Structures are given as structure tokens and as C-alpha cells.
Amino acid sequence: MGTISLRVNGAVHAVDVDPQTPLLYVLSDELRLRGPKFGCGLGQCGACTVLMDGRAVRSCVLPLSGVNRAEIVTLEGLGTSDKPHPIQQAFIDEEAAQCGFCLSGVILTAKAFLDQNPKATDDEIRQELGGVLCRCFVHVRMFKAIQRYAKTRRL
């Protein structure tokens, strides 16, 4: 153990954990963030997704030692309840949730991809979401919400 400094949602945190600890446990247990969730612990479902320097990564299989000085953004770091980020607003407007447990994976994977590839086609977006799971199967609405956000990126 030893104190490690970590940049999350615009703030610097010092945490005292084993550097091999998966980032997810640090975010949930030490920083008590609610966005990233434990789904499988195997990097297979996406529920633990966070942005690392703008890229979507699976925090359940990423050891803290692999973060270094990268900026981490979680789902709650994107926007607030009063002022959601446009992609969060798109999900609210399309009523694209049931249990909502998967949303970090869905929203952050789509956001990272569209920010890098603002002209992505629907097929390319779909391909990018091929590793994300939603067991309530809100696929229709989620895809509409992502398309809505994609449109604003293309403008």
C-alpha cells in the first residue's frame, strides 16, 4: 500500500490502496462514486465503464497502477441532475432506461466513440456497442438516444 494520487471528474484524490486494485473498487469503495458499477468483474459487460483521457475503458479489469496521470471521468462527471450532458439528456428524452444499471457502459462507450468519430455511421456505432450489455433490452430507445446525440456532433 501507499498513497496514490488520482484525477477523477476534475478533482485530485489521494487513495491508500494496493496499486493492483481494480480502478472500479477505488472509484466505488474509496471515492463512493455511483456511476461505474460492478457487473461482471471480467470486462465483458461494460457496466463499469469510465472515460480515461476520453477513451472508454473497463474499470473492473484496469489496475489502479495502469491509470497513472490520466484523467478519469465517470458517468456522474459528465453532467449533473440539473444540467445533464447532452448525451445524458438524450437518454432522458428518449426514456432510454429501465433498471439503468448498464448506463455507464452504454452512454460512455457511445460518447467516447462519437467524440472521436463524429461522422460515424449507424453501422459503425452498432459495431462499437457490440461489447456492451443491457439485460432489460432497452436497445431501441438507447439507439435512438445515441443517434440523437450523434446528430448534435455532426452539426
| Residues from 108 through 137 that contact other proteins (CB under 8 A) | 126-137
DSSP H or E segment with residue 139: helix 139-154
**Helices 103-116 and 86-93, packing angle to 10 deg:** 130
Shortest reach from residue 83's CB to other proteins, in Å: 9
Alpha helices in 13-121 (DSSP H): 23-25, 75-78, 86-93, 103-116
Binding residue for other proteins, selected from 35, 58, 111, 112, defined by CB under 8 A = 35
Contact mark string toward other proteins, 43..72, x via CB under 8 A: -xx-x-------------------------
Residues 6+ apart with CB under 8 A from 151: none
Shortest reach from residue 53's CB to other proteins, in Å: 19
Quick check: 82 binds other proteins (CB under 8 A)? yes
| Residues from 5 through 34 that contact other proteins (CB under 8 A) | 17-18, 20-22, 25, 28-29, 32-34
Residue 70 DSSP code: P
* Nearest CB to other proteins, comparing residues 104 and 112: 104
Where do we find the cell 459487460? 45
Task: Determine how many CB atoms are found less than 10 A away from the CB of residue 16.
Answer: 9
Binding residue for other proteins, selected from 8, 97, 112, 120, defined by CB under 8 A = 97
Q: Which of 85, 120, 101 is nearest to 93 (CA)?
A: 85
Quick check: 76 binds other proteins (CB under 8 A)? yes
- Contact 145/90 with Cβ under 8 angstroms? yes
- Interacting residues toward other proteins by CB under 8 A: 1, 17-18, 20-22, 25, 28-29, 32-42, 44-45, 47, 74-82, 84, 88-89, 91-92, 95, 97-104, 106-107, 126-143
